[in-house]
Amino acid sequence: MDVVVQQTVNALALGGTYALLALGLAMVFSVLGLINFAHGELMTVTGYAMYFVLTAGLPFEIAVLVGIVAAIATAMLMERVAFRPVRNAGTATMLLTSFAVSTILHMLFQNLISARPKALPVPDWMIGALNIAGFDIGVIQLMSISATALLLFALTVFLRRSTLGIAMRAASLDFPVTRLMGINANMVISTAFAISGLLAGVAGVLWLAQRGSVDPLMGFLPVLKAFIAVVLGGLGSLSGAVLGGFTLAFIEVALRAFLPDDWLPFRESIALALVILLLLVRPEGLLGRKEAIR
Amino acid sequence: MSNEAALLSVEGLVVRYGAIEAVRGADLSVRQGEIVTLLGANGAGKSSILNAIMGLVPVAGGRVVLEGNDVGGEPPEKIVRRGMTLTPEGRRVFANLTVAENLSIGAATRRDRAEVEATRSDMLELFPILAERRDQLAGTLSGGEQQMLAIARSMMSQPKIVLLDEPSLGLAPQIVDTIFELIVRLRDRGATILLVEQNVELALEIADRGYVLASGAIALEGSARELSASGDVERAYMGAH
Ligand SMILES: Nc1ncnc2c1ncn2[C@@H]1O[C@H](COP(=O)(O)OP(=O)(O)O)[C@@H](O)[C@H]1O
Ligand SMILES: [Mg+2]
């Protein structure tokens, strides 16, 4: 019983991080039709921003705040500088542009900062565990779960209640008609990037708190997982991205916990095989639409 | 040439898609309070004219003058804020949004909440079926209901002029009659309407004036009465083929 609760907490915490990242990818995809491969670099930006703030001797809380703001600003800057000029050139061009942005950022990190990892010491109070109802639950896990829940709730309220939120959902269904409602195309897209930056920033903080270091390529693996989550959940579906993130995490954690030891090296491949199996059964993803409405 | 009294006037409008010239120098005007209909066979260029007026496709030549300002080439969101809007062909309601949300987003350009709510109850009174269905997803409505929602959504911005692109498309004759009655009621409440149609008879019945488009150019124009009395409309239609 104890193991099950413990592993569920682990899966929820990891799933939350995947879900936040996947949701950011899906958000941009839903309004722009772009899978932003530079999304992982937003986490890296968060990491370096935190590193500089901590090196300057400022408290961890400030570093978290600056890290998240840096991710939001970078996401919006990416949109403005790299994606807006090629917006009408087609999705293939935008996709290539996002590869270029990702590569340029890698090179900047390597040449201006360092190719080697920089330590990001987390405060002592985050390392321990709390005893909740007889279970020892890691503080970082607890933070992951609550941050994810809070962000998902806030985002849902924003998308359901605010005019801009409704406009973003409308834009994901029919962009030209959304503009006919008087809604500024740049505003919608810029907001989508800002939200993706916020989500990547928070995911970045949670990821970094686990790892304790930042390096130029750290964004690659999590964004790959997020991409798998998006496809698993159904490309274009926001709730699908969240569900995909949690599903992937549960598969990974279950394999890590219950696979025999000599199978452990293959757990990533087994996880991917399971995902492919799910997609064979439901090619449109867990919550994807069978066909476009238009 | 330009008609000073016109709310909207289109002068020498050209629309191109690559090498294809879909609209070749079209002139038309709409005065305050009128229903003007733009008729023409499939592929004549009617939607291209409306889409170019709204900035959804580029204006390759000519002018689009709204209340004395040349708005040609402005993005759609800006033109909507100037008081002109389009109910697009095929309705294109936001299928995964509720009826209420579709109406809310129609009023996105307006700040005064109380006034928006007043327009909303106005529209729900005019289209009672929408009040019944307000929490349903728009995609679950019937074609006629979706058309009503699309028109109501356009009216939520309180436009000075609304462009309707084939509101009868794909609807049963009975439903078409209802929609046309509603269009007349909108006009009676002060709306100005440019109505694109293929249903010549019905359109001329409710319009004040009309234009017939053939192969991207205006082939015929006149009062609705003149146009329906003469057999010229049919002939202009045939000329398109
Ligand atoms: N996006 C487009 N790209 C290329 N050709 C188009 C496009 N839209 C319309 N056309 C062409 O322009 C012509 C006029 O079309 P349209 O304006 O839709 O006519 P109507 O609304 O009168 O049926 C047609 O020959 C059509 O094939
Ligand atoms: Mg048409």
Q: Does residue A185 fall inside a structural domain? A: yes
Q: How far is the CA of A127 from the centre of ligand 1 (A)?
A: 64
Alpha-carbon distance A77 to A71, whole Å? 10
Query: Residue whose CA is closest, atom 11 of ligand 1?
Result: B22
Q: Does B77 touch chain A (CB under 8 A)?
A: yes
Chain B CB contacts of A183 below 8 Å = 77, 105, 108
Q: Does residue A256 fall inside a structural domain? A: no
| Torsion angle defined by CA atoms of residues B96, B121, B76 and A166, in that order, rounded to the nearest 10 degrees | -40
Tokens coding A269:
């491949």
Query: Residue whose CA is closest, atom 8 of ligand 1?
Result: B48
Global pTM value: 0.88
Q: What is the pLDDT of residues B141-186, one digit of tens each?
A: 999 999 999 999 999 999 999 999 999 999 999 999 999 999 999 9
Q: What is the pLDDT along chain A (294 residues), one digit of tens a residue?
A: 678 888 899 999 999 999 999 999 999 999 999 999 999 999 999 999 999 999 999 999 999 999 999 999 999 999 999 999 998 888 899 999 999 999 999 999 999 999 999 999 989 888 888 888 888 888 999 999 999 999 999 999 999 999 999 999 999 999 999 999 999 999 999 999 999 999 999 999 999 998 999 999 999 999 999 999 999 999 888 999 999 999 999 999 999 888 888 888 888 888 888 888 888 888 888 888 754 433
Alpha-carbon distance B88 to A25, whole Å? 30
B95 phi, psi to nearest 5 deg: -60, -35
Q: Is the dihedral of CA A243, A249, A252, A256 positive or negative?
A: negative
**For residue B240, what are the CA distances in angstroms to A205, A239, A245, B47, B213?**
65, 49, 56, 16, 8
B98 phi, psi to nearest 5 deg: -70, 165
Q: Is B16 exposed, middle or buried (0-12, 13-18, 19+ CB in 10 A)?
A: middle
**For residue A52, what are the CA distances in angstroms to A55, A74, B193?**
5, 16, 61
Alpha-carbon distance A17 to A220, whole Å? 14
**Domains by residue range for chain B, with CATH:** 3-239 (3.40.50.300)
**For residue A141, what are the CA distances in angstroms to A11, A15, B11, B92?**
9, 11, 66, 44
Q: Does residue A131 fall inside a structural domain? A: yes
Chain A CB contacts of B92 below 8 Å = 174, 177, 294
| Torsion angle defined by CA atoms of residues A27, A30, A32 and A38, in that order, rounded to the nearest 10 degrees | 40
Q: Does residue A209 fall inside a structural domain? A: yes
**Is ipTM > 0.90 here?**
yes
Residue B212 identity: V
Pocket of ligand 1 (CB under 6 A): B 17, 20, 22, 40, 42-48
Q: Does residue A166 fall inside a structural domain? A: yes
Beta bridge partners of B81: none
Radius of gyration of chain B (CA): 17
Our count of domains for chain A comes to: 1
Chain B CB contacts of A168 below 8 Å = none
The residue in chain B having the minimum alpha-carbon distance to the alpha carbon of residue A188 is B77
Q: Is A132 exposed, middle or buried (0-12, 13-18, 19+ CB in 10 A)?
A: exposed
Q: Does residue A20 fall inside a structural domain? A: yes
Out of B81, B95, B105, whose CB is closest to A163?
A: B105
Owning domain of residue A116: 13-216
Q: Sort strands B161-165 and B192-197 into parallel, antiparallel or unpaired.
A: parallel
The answer to whether the CB atoms of A179 and B92 lie below 8 A apart is no
Q: Does residue A248 fall inside a structural domain? A: no
Residue at token pair 């002939």: B235
Q: Does residue A8 fall inside a structural domain? A: no
